[in-house]
Amino acid sequence: MITAITKRITTINEVEQQFNLVQAADPDFFREWQENLPDLTETEKAVLGRIKGRYRYHRASGNLAEGLVNLLVLSPLLELVGFYDPPFQMQGEVAIEVSTSVATGETSEEILRGRIDFLVVSKGLWIAVLESKGTDINLDMAIPQTLAYMMANPHPENPVFGMATNGGNFFFLKLNCQGTPQYDISRTFSLFPSYNELYEVLRILKGLVTSLVNVCDN
């Protein structure tokens, strides 16, 4: 049986049940978004200031569609990280399939299909799954869908990271499929405080890149 991920996976309970996922209880499971983060240059801070200003200027007139969020916020942010240049390869609208066991009277295999908005790959390994939404979407709704996409990682021996955004808010996820699959989620970062929390978003992205490129090189 083949089902769209967006139809089958709509809540955290569903994604946990479908993939036997558990949220990690160890506070050290996802330290990558908090520790050993690189400093930013003044040039990077200036670019992030422009991204935030543009977002808030356009957002003040109403909700922004997903395409505009990508244009105003996500694309220039990924440019700063360096995801458009070697050794990374950006892929968009990536079709994926992942199997799950579903109880339907008797246990049967179900194939879930979906499309990842943006996938960052280096040397064949997934670096990050990036999920984008319009500003009218509550970002919490992206958690189960993003985790389901991350379960399709073809190298389950390595952790995979994800980021979801609706333009004004961001959060990061980590998934480790070794043994019992475990995940955890960072705090949410917002563009609405006077302090530009895009600084932290970029620092986390750059930190994840450094740690995972090291994995690719080993």
Q: Cis ω on the peptide bond leading into residue 87 (within 30° of 0)? A: yes
Whether residue 1 is contained in a domain is answered as no
Range of the domain at 37: 20-90+116-217
Average pLDDT of every residue of the chain: 89
* Domain membership flag for residue 24: yes
Residue 104 lies in a domain: no
6-60 confidence digits (pLDDT tens): 788 889 999 999 899 999 999 999 999 999 899 999 999 999 999 999 999 999 9
Q: What sign does the CA torsion over 123, 124, 129, 132 have?
A: positive
Instruction: Decide if pLDDT at 88 tops 80.
Output: yes
In a domain, 107, yes or no: no
Quick: pLDDT tens for 117-170: 999 998 778 888 998 999 988 888 899 999 999 999 988 888 999 999 999 999
Rounded to the nearest angstrom, the gap between the alpha carbon of residue 7 and the centroid of all alpha carbons in its chain is 20
Examine the pLDDT at 218 and tell me if it is beyond 70.
Answer: no
Instruction: Return the amino acid letter for 112.
Output: L
**Whole-angstrom Cα Rg for the chain:** 17
What are the angstrom distances between the C-alpha of 213 and each of 78, 87, 157, 164, 196? 16, 9, 15, 21, 27
Q: Flag whether 14 is in a domain.
A: no
| 15/9 Cα distance (integer angstroms) | 6
Task: Round to whole Å and give the CA distance between 161 and 149.
Answer: 11
Cα 166 off chain centre by? 11
Residue 73 DSSP SS3: helix
How many separate domains does the chain show? 1
